[in-house]
Amino acid sequence: MTTNAQAFSRAVLAWFDEYGRKHLPWQQQISSYRVWISEIMLQQTQVSTVIPYFERFMQRFPAVEQLAAADEDEVLHLWTGLGYYARARNLHKAAKQIVSAGEFPKGQNALEQLPGIGRSTAGAISAIAQGERAAILDGNVKRVLCRYQAIDGWPGQTSVTKQLWQLAEQCTPDQRFADYTQAMMDLGATLCTRSKPQCERCPLQQDCIAHRGGTQTEYPNRKPASQKPLRHTRMLMLVNEQGNVLLHKRPPTGIWGGLWSLPELNADTDPVEHAALHWQLQINEAEIWQNFVHTFSHYQLQITPLKSLLARPAHSIMEQGSWLWYNMQHPQELGLAAPVKKLLQRLSDQLQIGYRPRPLTITQEFSMSRTVHCLKLNKDAPGLALPPYPGAKGQWIFDNICEEAWKQWQDHQTRLINEKQLSMMNPDDRKYLTGQMDKFFSGEEFDQAEGYVPEQK
Ligand code: SF4
């Protein structure tokens, strides 16, 4: 262990002695079995939620033998509300393996062989219950170490994970492993939190590189956005003798569902032949415009615009059902796909038509596909159709929170309201819920409600 690593663990242990949690149920009558159950329950679930589940579980299955002998339905029943039921199934399976082996496996490597136990969980059981020096690297510890050393790169990358494990091993002291393990988990959960680390109270602040540089929230680095596939299409702007453009209504499902759009052609389709064959229209050779890219949540669409004029007046009836000649001087109130609106504007500029799309009603405007980089889930995902309520906060949610995360909050809010018997008529209750919502979206610890199902990572 280097001097720096010694200083690190000394500071963490001194902090733990004063502020660490020492009265949690699994910190009493410590055994491999009890620590194992608590560690599995605590995966992606907060301490306050886990405590009642742990106590009920221990009452019914005080030792691994009772768990192994239980019916799986009963195990799952006691797990109901904690989510991630694979954790409960693996516990049950592992309990049977332990009982048939005749003893609880000892040491990080042996523990890792059991279903549902990864290296970090095995390290925690080993260090806390078996008196063996073993490192842990759960999400909380990763965050602390990434910030302390300003480690660049996404922790899911093999090279970064390897670096973090090395550091975790180095920092683990040669004695008091159990306290150190608990201390690191506590530090990450209570001080070095995701969005608002309380560095002023942190025992590591003096040497923490991210703290010194004021870059705490940049670490751990986010997962790099994956490259979206690029697809291609060509959009035909066919203009008739009145300067109107041919549009068609898209099917109700799929991209731009139900919106009006320009006809699309494959790369190898000749527009002149296509118009004659499918629309009985004679059109001039198409002019190719500069292409551009439109981004969807899962792919990018490269659009090559083609412009053509009718060579002869149209005799075929186009204005039926899903087709119309769109009047750019006196536009109808239609929902237009976003790139189509852009192209119509350019076309009218070129034709010198005073095109001003009619303002759409808010529902039409926002029903168009939009994606946000969701701060809560840290991924690109479909955004809300409208701000959930007026004002700056509603706008902030609209800009930064995706539909999926908003739904998660609404479900959680419902549980909080039911469990705490809150009333939206009561200003204090409303204030409490707003505070909880801020914490929920910013990654700070928020109050759990019985039956809360943690978000999938
Ligand atoms: S000083 Fe701040 S950023 Fe650094 S480990 Fe402590 S709480 Fe985290």
Ligand 1 centroid distance, CA of 22 (Å): 22
Q: Is residue 285 part of a domain?
A: yes
CATH number at residue 158: 1.10.340.30
Contact (Cβ atoms closer than 8 angstroms) between residue 227 and residue 293 = no
Question: Which atom of ligand 1 is nearest to 197's Cα?
Answer: 7
Counting DSSP H helices and E strands in the chain, the numbers are 18, 10
Ligand 1 centroid distance, CA of 194 (Å): 10
The most distant pair of C-alpha atoms in the chain lies apart, rounded to whole Å, by: 91
pLDDT score for 206: 94
* Host domain of residue 304: 230-366
Q: Is residue 238 part of a domain?
A: yes
Closest by Cα among 191, 197, 193 to 212: 197
Q: In this structure, are 268 and 185 located in the same domain?
A: no
Those residues whose C-beta lies under 8 Å from the C-beta of residue 118, and which sit 6 or more positions away, are 112
Ligand 1 centroid distance, CA of 437 (Å): 24
CA atoms within a 13 Å half-sphere pointing along the CA-CB vector of 377: 23
Q: In this structure, are 25 and 128 located in the same domain?
A: yes
The first and second tokens of residue 234, run together, are 């060509």
For residue 236, give the DSSP letter. E
Those residues whose C-beta lies under 8 Å from the C-beta of residue 364, and which sit 6 or more positions away, are 333, 334, 335
pLDDT score for 381: 81
Report the nearest-CA residue for atom 8 of ligand 1. 192
What CA–CA distance (Å, rounded) separates 291 from 335?
Answer: 23
Backbone angles phi, psi at 387, to 5 degrees: -60, 135
Q: In this structure, are 163 and 204 located in the same domain?
A: yes
The first and second tokens of residue 328, run together, are 């750019």
Per-residue pLDDT of 303-351, as tens digits, reads 999 999 988 776 655 556 688 888 888 877 677 777 898 899 888 888 7
pLDDT score for 356: 59
Those residues whose C-beta lies under 8 Å from the C-beta of residue 28, and which sit 6 or more positions away, are none
Using CB distances shorter than 6 Å, the residues near ligand 1 are 144, 147-148, 191-192, 197, 199, 202, 204-205, 208, 210-211, 216
This prediction has a pTM of 0.55
The first and second tokens of residue 326, run together, are 């769109």
Question: Which atom of ligand 1 is nearest to 198's Cα?
Answer: 7
**310 to 56, 285, 315, 347: CA distances (angstroms):** 77, 10, 11, 15
Q: Which of 140-144, 358-362, 448-452 has the highest mean pLDDT?
A: 140-144
Contact (Cβ atoms closer than 8 angstroms) between residue 225 and residue 378 = no
* Chain position carrying tokens 């890792």: 112
Q: In this structure, are 169 and 245 located in the same domain?
A: no
Question: Positive or negative, the Cα torsion across 308, 310, 315, 319?
Answer: positive
Write out the catalytic residue numbers: 39
* Residue that finishes a domain, picked among 366, 401, 420: 366
Ligand 1 centroid distance, CA of 146 (Å): 10
Report the nearest-CA residue for atom 2 of ligand 1. 199
Q: In this structure, are 253 and 341 located in the same domain?
A: yes
CATH number at residue 403: 1.10.3880.10
* Residue that finishes a domain, picked among 339, 366, 393: 366
Q: In this structure, are 235 and 293 located in the same domain?
A: yes
Q: Is residue 43 part of a domain?
A: yes
Ligand 1 centroid distance, CA of 210 (Å): 7
**413 to 115, 312, 383, 386, 427: CA distances (angstroms):** 34, 62, 19, 19, 16
Contact (Cβ atoms closer than 8 angstroms) between residue 413 and residue 439 = no
Q: Is residue 224 part of a domain?
A: no
Total count of domains within the chain? 3
For residue 447, give the DSSP letter. -
Q: Cβ–Cβ contacts within 10 Å for residue 115, how many?
A: 14
Q: Is residue 451 part of a domain?
A: no
Q: In this structure, are 347 and 400 located in the same domain?
A: no
Ligand 1 centroid distance, CA of 65 (Å): 42
Ligand 1 centroid distance, CA of 441 (Å): 21
Beta bridge partners of 384: none
Exposed, middle or buried by CB within 10 Å (0-12, 13-18, 19+), for 355? buried
pLDDT score for 454: 44
CA atoms within a 13 Å half-sphere pointing along the CA-CB vector of 220: 24
* Chain position carrying tokens 């995966």: 43
Q: In this structure, are 162 and 58 located in the same domain?
A: yes
| Mutation choice for ligand 1 from 204, 207, 209, 217, CB with most ligand atoms inside 8 A | 204
Per-residue pLDDT of 237-294, as tens digits, reads 999 888 889 998 888 777 777 778 999 999 889 999 999 998 888 899 999 999 998 8
Q: In this structure, are 73 and 173 located in the same domain?
A: yes
Length of the chain: 457
Ligand 1 centroid distance, CA of 195 (Å): 11
Average pLDDT over residues 169-196: 94
pLDDT score for 3: 57
Q: In this structure, are 432 and 404 located in the same domain?
A: yes
Residue at 273: amino acid letter: E
Beta strand spans in 122-184 (E): none
| Mutation choice for ligand 1 from 216, 218, 444, CB with most ligand atoms inside 8 A | 216
Of 402 and 147, the one with more pLDDT: 147
Whole-number average pLDDT of the chain: 86
Q: Is residue 23 part of a domain?
A: yes
What CA–CA distance (Å, rounded) separates 450 from 46?
Answer: 12
What CA–CA distance (Å, rounded) separates 427 from 389?
Answer: 17
Q: Is residue 239 part of a domain?
A: yes
Closest by Cα among 131, 133, 151, 129 to 142: 151
What CA–CA distance (Å, rounded) separates 98 from 142?
Answer: 30
Q: In this structure, are 199 and 287 located in the same domain?
A: no
Average pLDDT over residues 181-202: 93
Q: Is residue 457 part of a domain?
A: no
What CA–CA distance (Å, rounded) separates 269 from 323?
Answer: 20
Q: Which of 113-127, 303-317, 338-352, 417-431 has the highest mean pLDDT?
A: 113-127
Of 267 and 38, the one with more pLDDT: 38
| Mutation choice for ligand 1 from 16, 143, 147, 190, CB with most ligand atoms inside 8 A | 147
**32 to 23, 38, 128: CA distances (angstroms):** 17, 10, 8
Chain mean position to CA 30: 35
pLDDT at 358 over 60: no
Q: In this structure, are 361 and 389 located in the same domain?
A: no
Residue at 264: amino acid letter: E
| Mutation choice for ligand 1 from 205, 207, 215, 218, CB with most ligand atoms inside 8 A | 205
